Amino acid sequence: MKLIYYYSLDQGAPAEVGRNVFKKLLDKADILPFSEIKLFCKEKDAPYVKKQFKNTDIITYKNLNKISKNDVVHIPVLPTILPNSKFILYFYSKVIKREKIILQYHGDVRTELKSSYKDIISLVHILTYIFVPNLLKSADRVITHSYYMDKIIKKYGVKKCVVIPNAIEECWFQPLNTKETHIKEMTDKNKFSIFYHGRLSWEKGVDLLIKAAEIHIKNEPNTIIYLAGEGPQKSYLMELCTRLGLAKNVRFLGNIKKEEIMFFLKNVDAAIYPSRFDNFPLAILEALACANCPVYFSKNIGIYDFVVQRRFQLNYFELNIENISKILNSVFKVENKNITCQQMEFAKEYLWDLVILEYIKLYEDVLKD
C-alpha cells in the first residue's frame, strides 16, 4: 500500500501548506501506514523535485501506470476542472483506477469566484464553480482547515470531511536575527504603526482597513500603515489611498521575507487582519506566534472557531469600518504583555509536529474504510 502525494511548486499558501505537510510526513515515515510514498508533480517540475527528494519515486502524467489500484492518492490543492496535472491525477485515480482519494479544500472556490466575476479571466473557472460539489463528494475524505469551511462544504452535500488546522514552524517563536542592517530601518519609531501581511485581494478586506484608517488619521495624522504582500487588488488599494489622501500614511511593501515580517510584528503597535471571509490563514497564526503587539482579526476567519473552542480571549471583532476605526483609536489602551503571552500560547497549539499527527490518523481511518 503506497501513498501518492501531489507536490506543487506553485506560489501561495495552499501549495506551501501542501509542501510542509509532505516534509513532515517524511519525518514521520516510520509511523505512516504505507510501505512507500511516491510524489506526483508537473512534468516541468520533475527535475527540480527529483533533486529535492532523491530517495522518493517521482510520477508525472507520462508514467501514471506506476499508480496501482490499492494506492491512496492525496491532492493537497483542489483540482480545477481544466486539463492540468492535478485534474489528470484526480481523473485517472478516481475514474479509471477507482482508488481512494483525499482532497484538501483551502478556500471556497464558489465564494472567491463570485467576488471576482467582474474579471473576465475568472470565467475560465466556471466549470469548477459548477462541479466543485460533485468533485468534493467523490472523494473518500475532504480535508478543510476550519469549522467555518466545514459548514460550507457540508451544505454542498459533502459528508466525508475532516477538519485539520493549518500549522507553522517552530522558527516563528524564536528570537529575531537582525544582522541585516536594512531591517532595522524599516519602521518609523516616531509614528503610530499598523501592520498587515497577506494577499491583497477582496476577501482579505484590506480596503476596509484603509477606509477605517481615514477616519482615525483625521484625529491622529502621525499614523502609518504597512501593507506587505501582493495581489489582484493592489492597484485599487493604491488608488484608494490617493483618493482618500492617505498616500503618505500607507506604505505598500510588496512581498517581503520571513525575517522582515517578524521584524514588523515585533516593532509595530498593532497588526490587523480584516478578512471578509477566510479559512485558516497562516498570516494570522504567524502574527499570533511572534508579535510584540496585539493582533486583531475579524470573526469571519476560521481561526475564530478554534479560539472560542479553546476559550482564549484574543482580539477578534465583528467586521465593519466603524469597529476597525475604534480598534485603531484604542490600541494604546491594550495591555500588550498580557495579550502577547495569550497569543503565543494559542499559536503553540498549531505547530507542525503536533498537527501532522492528525494527517496520519486520517490516513489510518481511510485505509480502514
Structure confidence at residue 351 (pLDDT): 96
pLDDT in tens, 101-113: 999 998 777 666 6
3-state class (DSSP) for residue 141:
strand
Same fold, 2-167+352-368 and 170-350: yes
Contact 5, 15 (CB under 8 A): no
Structure confidence at residue 182 (pLDDT): 59
Record the pTM.
0.89
> What are residue 295's DSSP bridge partners?
271
Whole-Å CA distances, 5 to 59, 142, 153, 223, 308: 10, 15, 23, 47, 33
pLDDT in tens, 185-231: 677 778 899 999 999 999 999 999 999 999 999 989 999 999 999 99
Phi-psi region of 303 (alpha: psi -120 to 50; beta: other; left: phi over 0): alpha
Contact 40, 47 (CB under 8 A): no
The single-letter code of the amino acid at 331 is V
Structure confidence at residue 128 (pLDDT): 75
Give the C-alpha separation, 293 to 339, whole Å.
8
Contact 38, 66 (CB under 8 A): yes
Give the C-alpha separation, 139 to 39, whole Å.
19
Give the C-alpha separation, 130 to 126, whole Å.
6
Structure confidence at residue 235 (pLDDT): 96
* Assigned C-alpha cell, 245: 489622501
Give the C-alpha separation, 259 to 264, whole Å.
9
Confidence of residue 66 (pLDDT cuts 50, 70, 90): confident
Q: What residues contact 87, with CB distance under 8 A and at least 6 apart? A: 79, 80, 81
Structure confidence at residue 143 (pLDDT): 96
Give the C-alpha separation, 356 to 362, whole Å.
10
Q: Does residue 319 have a pLDDT over 70?
A: yes
Domain ranges, ordered by start, for the chain: 2-167+352-368, 170-350
Residue range 246-275: mean pLDDT, rounded: 94
Whole-Å CA distances, 360 to 38, 169, 256, 347: 16, 18, 33, 21
Q: Is the dihedral of CA 106, 251, 261, 222 positive or negative?
A: negative
3-state secondary structure string across 118-132 = CCHHHHHHHHHHHHH
* Assigned C-alpha cell, 243: 483618493
The answer to which of 179-188, 249-258, 322-331 has the lowest mean pLDDT is 179-188
Q: Where does the chain show beta strands of DSSP type E?
A: 2-6, 36-40, 57-59, 72-75, 100-105, 141-144, 161-163, 192-197, 223-228, 250-254, 270-273, 295-298, 315-317
Give the C-alpha separation, 287 to 172, whole Å.
9
Please give the CATH number for the structural domain made up of 170-350.
Answer: 3.40.50.2000
Block residue for cell numbers 485558516: 280
CATH architecture of 2-167+352-368: 3-Layer(aba) Sandwich (3.40)
Q: Does residue 116 have a pLDDT over 60?
A: no
